[in-house]
Amino acid sequence: MFCRQSVTHVWVLLTLVSQAMACAPGRSGYQRRVPRRLTPLVVKQYVPNTAEQNEIAAGRAKGAISRTSMAFRKLVPNYNTDIRFLDDEGTGADRIMTQRCRDKLDTLAVSVMTQWPGVKLRVIESWDEYSHHKSGSLHYEGRAVDFTTDDRHQAKYGMLARLAVEAGFDWVYYETKRHVHASVKPDSINERKTASCFERSSIVQTRNGPRPMSALRIQDEVLSYNSDEGILEYSPVITFLDRDPTRKELFIKIKTEFGEQLILTRYHLVYRQEYDERPSVTYAARILPGDKILVLPNVENVTSPTEFADSSEYAKAPLGKLRPTKVLAVHYVRSRGVYAPLTTTGTIVVNGVVSSCYALVNDHQLAHRAFAPIRLLYKPMFLIRQWLSWLREIIGNKQQQKFDQKQDKDAMPAPSETDRKKPSPLGKFAQALFGSLPVNATDYDVESVWTTSSDFVRADGEDLDDPVDEYTASFRGVHWYAALLYYLFQSTLTSYMP
């Protein structure tokens, strides 16, 4: 009965998710938003701050494509009526590009019309078949495009470059005052899209004080942001979407004007104050110096969502309020250990910065609704565990009482420590049931003392960076569910992914 109801709930949710996706903005629709308040790029600035053909950016050139080559068949024309193509050669070459480049260009065209009503995007160069660019240029592969606005108002080009970053181009260069250059990775690239996590040394705030991400465990209550109510609250960790203490990954380090540093992978979602109203979420890779992200004042001394130390440098901030804080610097670092905890609110405060628990899908609310079954399953599992723990404690106490009574009656010698810890058959059954559930926190002592070393070992000496069994079943369940969602809605989800 429980299994049948669970399947029914999941099916209803999938139906709702599919309807939400069908009505959402993307390749299949358009939703007008107010003009964005973002920081424009300046002339000669490029994002990310690395060479165009670096692996972080558009990647290496593979070789020029001619009309007679087999690779030319993979290029696609762009007939978007919201884009004006210069086509000064008269061959239609400016309309030819890779599929990824066309997708990003179409997205940018919508952003331009939203930012400046009545203005359209103007493409002046795309695929080059006449060797007009330097050797190795991505224009020869249809992976690069140069553009302006059709009114040729150069004062708009800085914001136009920023909109190109938001549209998802892998490298954007405000090359000259006359145009913006952007490029993309090859269509054939197969990026590992599971690597969307926080770095191991990141700090979260629990009810018992700050704790490193590497020491975080399921059922810990961490400080999070309730986006519906706009308040801070403690939310339990119900599972990990990713957890690998040994994997080396490329992270983005975001540093704010007050010293907060958030280290996470490029496609993780971060809250940004983009509009005058509520903050929105965006990929970490799209956060640039000058942007404002949500920061919790005095997070290092927080023991409840409204407590702040008087002596803190953040003392002037409104009590209990999140504060939009300017980003000073963004750069890439490599580090070991990736962690992606999932809370019931779908958000988490990491190093004092409000972040989403989700990644890849650039709609936080959509991702949160999609994982509703995981949250629904967590509560009954938690109640079952509490009941089993209570039952095991009662059985153990009764066994101890019987033993003590028999000891007093027969004057038997005190039992050994091994005898005292010998479990009953029911205790073994309960332990087996605990291990079969997707969440297992029975191996940890809630009152454990955490050291200040970089490895953060537990008080009993166990290294918390070692993979533990408690996450295995949880991973299998969550990853199976996520894979099912992607399989069912792959064509629609593409418009929500980088």
pLDDT at position 449, please?
Answer: 27
* Statement to judge: residues 112 and 260 lie in one domain: no
Average pLDDT of the chain to the nearest whole number: 74
Let me know whether 175 and 223 are in one domain.
Answer: no
pLDDT at 406: 58
Please indicate, yes or no, whether residues 230 and 145 belong to a single structural domain of this protein. Answer: no
**Same domain, yes or no, for 227 and 355?**
yes
Q: Does 136 share its domain with 231? A: no
Q: 265 and 223, same structural domain?
A: yes
Q: Residue 59 — very low, low, confident or very high, per pLDDT cuts 50/70/90? A: very high
> Is the confidence at residue 352, as pLDDT, over 50?
yes
C-beta separation of 458 from 326 below 8 A: no
Cα first-last separation, the chain: 40
Task: Tell me which of 120, 151, 183 is where a domain ends.
Answer: 183
Q: Are residues 87 and 157 in the same domain?
A: yes
CA separation for the pair 473, 437 (Å, rounded): 7
Same domain, 177 and 205: no
Q: Pick from 183, 208, 229: which residue ends a domain?
A: 183
Do 147 and 251 share a domain, yes or no?
Answer: no
Q: Is residue 411 part of a domain?
A: no
Residues 209 and 337 in one domain: yes
* Residue whose entry in the numeric block shows the structure tokens 């991400």: 213
Final residue belonging to a domain, choices 336, 356, 371: 371
In a domain, 362, yes or no: yes
**pLDDT tens-digit map of 267-278:** 999 999 876 666
Residue 64 has pLDDT above 70, yes or no: yes
Nearest CA to 355 among 485, 213, 214? 213
- Which residues span the domain enclosing 276? 198-301+319-371
Q: pLDDT digit string (tens) for 166-214?
A: 999 999 999 999 999 999 999 876 554 555 789 999 999 998 889 999 8
pLDDT at 30 over 50: no
Q: What is the CATH number of the domain that holds 77?
A: 3.30.1380.10
421 belongs to a structural domain: no
What's the CATH code of the domain at 271? Answer: 2.170.16.10
Q: Which pLDDT belongs to residue 31?
A: 42
pTM for this one? Answer: 0.68
Contact 114, 33 (CB under 8 A): yes
Per-residue pLDDT tens for 249-299? Answer: 889 999 999 888 999 999 999 999 876 666 888 999 999 999 999 998 765
Q: Is residue 154 part of a domain?
A: yes
């409104």: which residue's tokens?
Answer: 318
**Domain membership flag for residue 497:** no
Classify residue 236: in a domain, yes or no.
yes
Domain identity same for 361 and 295 = yes
pLDDT in tens, 468-490: 444 444 445 566 666 666 666 66
Residue 136 belongs to some domain of the structure: yes
Are 349 and 232 within one domain? yes
Question: Does residue 100 belong to any structural domain of this protein?
Answer: yes
Number of domains in the chain: 2
